[in-house]
Amino acid sequence: MIGAPIDVSDEVAALHQEALVIDLHNDVLTKLSHATFDFATRHRPAAFWNPFRLDLDLPKIRAGGIDALGCAMFAGFRLDADRRFWRMIDCARQLVDAHPQQLALVDHPGALRAARAAGRTALFLGVEGSYVVEQDLDPAIARLAAAGARFFGPLWERNSGAGSSCRSKKDNGLTDGGRALVAACNRHGMLIDVAHASPRTFWEMDEASETPLFSSHSGANGVYRHPRNLDDDQIQAIARRGGVVGVIFVAAYLGGQFSPIAHIADHIEHVARVGGQDCVALGSDYDGFAPLARGMRDAADLPRLTQVLWDRGWREPALRKLLGENALRFFERTWPAALRETA
């Protein structure tokens, strides 16, 4: 639903547009690889939620001031999963080829900075779900890394060969295959995304991974208890190793079906209190086939969130850290050194 409008002041709009803005998670590649959309056209907000409209398109990205987007390649479907999954890489490349002045596909921080300087939005790739790589693990991870994928979330809403998901009735944690997956990601320079992991799987991934964990899109259990949300100990564990928590915008995880945009701010503030201002980031889950908080109709409304936080007393540098600087710092520390050196 559209929700109540929020007026964004000229001061906040200017700050938001000037700040580096990085959103760690969206599922637009899933939509674009399954249906035909004109990405250059602004799709109007729906009066009622419609899972087949776009939260992201070029005009909305521009209006939202977004400089970089973490584009998940979703591997949750079982039917024809392999073909559906791998064609998302082609989809990302075709999207950039079709809009070279507006978009850039990046795999290192220098390329992200260069894209922003050129007025382009940087797209970086990740994986959601291990289902299509489990039979041929190391070659698949190597192929993904070579294609530019920089993060891997082994779990989705159901168990995989890697371990138990947050929805599992019995939490068996990380499997031997999951440990092999974490090790392969560490070898090939892909970060481990803990979103959708069960508690035991989370802690066993934290123990197994040589690189810091992060969550591309989660809420905080300290605000609203939900299987998809992180508890305070998990947030602190991510923060201790220099990771970040991308706070999700999906209403169901924030406080229930009719959560307002203020609930996004509640979760942001809780993560910042528990993990510190350097830990919190944005992880919208735009185009994730789930209703967003009321007042956050799509990506064009992202400045509204900055206004809500401004009205609560947030100022620089905390706002700039949240909007993108924390995520970029995390990438600069964790993305492969060889790639950083090519920047």
3 three-class SS: coil
And the tokens for 17?
A: 């547009």
280 three-class SS: strand
C-alpha dihedral sign at 257, 261, 265, 268: positive
- Most distant CA atoms of the chain, gap in Å: 54
* pLDDT higher than threshold 80 for residue 263: yes
Average pLDDT of the chain to the nearest whole number = 93
* pLDDT higher than threshold 60 for residue 343: no
Helical residues (DSSP H) of the chain, grouped into ranges: 10-18, 28-32, 58-63, 81-98, 109-117, 137-146, 176-187, 199-208, 232-240, 251-254, 261-275, 302-311, 318-320, 326-334, 337-341
C-alpha–C-alpha distance, residues 256 and 246, integer Å: 19
* pLDDT higher than threshold 90 for residue 84: no
The fraction of the chain above a pLDDT of 70, given in percent, is: 95
Q: What residue type is 46 in one-letter code?
A: A
* pLDDT higher than threshold 80 for residue 161: yes
Which stretch of DSSP H or E encloses residue 216? strand 215-218
pLDDT higher for 77 or 37?
37
What mean pLDDT is predicted for residues 186-196?
A: 97
Contact 167, 206 (CB under 8 A): no
C-alpha–C-alpha distance, residues 26 and 272, integer Å: 22
Residue 49 pLDDT level (bands cut at 50, 70, 90): confident
- What number of H helices and E strands is found in the chain? 15, 9
User: How many other C-beta atoms can be found within 10 angstroms of the C-beta atom of residue 13?
Assistant: 15
pLDDT higher for 231 or 342?
231
Q: What residue type is 296 in one-letter code?
A: M
pTM of the model: 0.96
Comparing 5-9, 260-264, 273-277, 317-321, the range with the smallest average pLDDT is 5-9
What mean pLDDT is predicted for residues 202-212?
A: 98
Residue 236 pLDDT level (bands cut at 50, 70, 90): very high
